[in-house]
Chains A and B, each alone.
Chain A
Amino acid sequence: MAPRFESHDMEDTVENVNLFFNYGLPLLLLVVAYLIGSFIEKRHFASIREREDDLHGFPVVSFDTMPDDWKVSSSDMVTGSIVISLDYFKRVIAGLRGLIGGRIKTYEPLLERARREALLRMSESARKQGYDAVFNVRLETSRLANAARDGKGTAGVEMLAFGTAVKFASRFG
């Protein structure tokens, strides 16, 4: 049935408030999420590149057996892990993408950041402990459920990098 309002002014006010909550607020949130999200992403990539430059020359390889010429004095497992979450903007755009399918392009840089950050943390930890290289490096990922929507939502993803760090008895023959 027709909505019942006290007067014209009241009707306008209620309408405007409804309009704001239904459309204005999500839109504002979207813009804010995009601005903050892309700022954080840019900063993170800059930090990743800088630290990768710093680690340049530190061998991190995925062989599961050690090359024959590596003469090793000690070894240990090293891990690096990061939990990363998506912003509202990425989530909304991915949701739209989910209606028709295709590459979720807004998630790609997110996972790229996670992979490189996890590898960096692992390598940095290995170097800090005095190791010379990491071999048999593997990446694992797992989704963190969001308790809010009965575990159906995604709070974020964990990216775990792990490998065997080794200390050389003598440097490269």
Chain B
Amino acid sequence: MKFIPKKPREGINVSDVHPLAEASTLIVGLIAIFIAIVLLLIFIIEVALYFVPARTEAELFADWMPEDLMTVSPGDERLYQTQLLVDRLASHWAEAPYKFRVEVDDSELANAMALPGGLIIVTQGLLDEVESENELAFVLGHELGHFRNRDHLRALGRGIVISLFFAVITGNDVAGLGIKATDIALRGFSREQESKADEFGLAVVQAEYGHVHQASRLFERWDDADDNTRAFITYLSTHPQPGDRVDNLRAVAHRDGWRADGQITPLKWQ
């Protein structure tokens, strides 16, 4: 046997693919798959919502409370009065499946949110901002509107599903998902959902007071506020811009022939 020297052959064990080509194929492909899965999950939530009636939800979440909520003392006058106001407003929504609970978060940042099981959270910052009961009633009525359209559950469901999906992908533990889900729930509503909630809120105010005077005055003030003040209004990061809302509300009131003048009810704790 004769030894014939040969050079090692190349290209057998190494794929002839540029690493950047491989990287971009993978990244683009995975993003597409990711988007498809998220859309599918959102669709599943919609289907699930259809099959979980509001009454079941109200029972399921009857005592539920986000873990990171810092509530004021249960004997707080403003908490008591706000709860009374919500009860009065809710009485105009006869078939409401929820027993609405109000909690006051001790944050200085003005905000209000609707959470599963009929839990309405308002911040101390918001209670400091409102100048009449009519203003507060509209904000609360708006949140009632979210319950009626079940937006709160939709956003929360999305939040949970998406953070769960992330947890699976990145391998993080599932702890702390609730907080993230709440966070996403805060900013999850679409423009359409918001204006529907606004219309409902205004109808509730009209039913309670017989007019819609000053219902949107809070937003008029916020619209005029400078940026420095606005930083304290997280409400604006999770709700539409105040200027647009005021215009919409005026149009709705005009359409339905609701009076834009009338007696203003002062806040009970003032």
Contacts and interface: CB of A to CB of B under 8 A. Distances in A.
Interface in A101-137: 103, 105-106, 108-109, 111-112, 115-116, 133
Interface in A1-54: 1-2, 4-5, 7-8, 11, 34, 38, 52-53
A105 B21 CA distance: 10
Contacts of B108: 4
A108 B69 contact: no
B19 A67 contact: no
B19 A103 contact: no
B30 A96 contact: yes
Given A2-B109, A56-B7, A112 B68 contact: no
Given A7-B228, A89-B19, A108-B14, A2 B1 contact: no
A56 B123 CA distance: 80
B176 interface: no
A99 interface: yes
A166 to B, nearest CB: 13
B186 A2 contact: yes
B76 interface: no
Interface in B1-32: 1-3, 5, 7-8, 13-15, 17, 19-20, 22-23, 26-27, 29-30
A8 B234 contact: no
B147 to A, nearest CB: 20
Contacts, number: 77
B8 A38 contact: no
B27 A96 contact: yes
Contacts of B256: none
B66 interface: yes
B3 A108 contact: no
A153 interface: no
A150 interface: no
A111 to B, nearest CB: 7
B14 A112 contact: yes
B22 A2 contact: no
B227 interface: yes
B141 to A, nearest CB: 21
A34 B17 CA distance: 15
Nearest to A5: B231
Interface string A43-71: 00000000011001111000000010100
A105 B19 contact: yes
Contacts of B82: none
A4 B14 contact: no
Given A7-B231, A52-B7, A52-B8, A108 B22 contact: no
Given A1-B107, A109-B14, A56 B19 contact: no
A8 B227 contact: yes
24 contacts: A1-B66, A1-B69, A2-B186, A2-B234, A5-B231, A8-B228, A34-B19, A52-B8, A53-B7, A57-B5, A67-B1, A69-B1, A89-B19, A89-B23, A96-B23, A96-B26, A99-B30, A100-B30, A105-B17, A106-B22, A108-B14, A108-B15, A115-B13, A172-B2
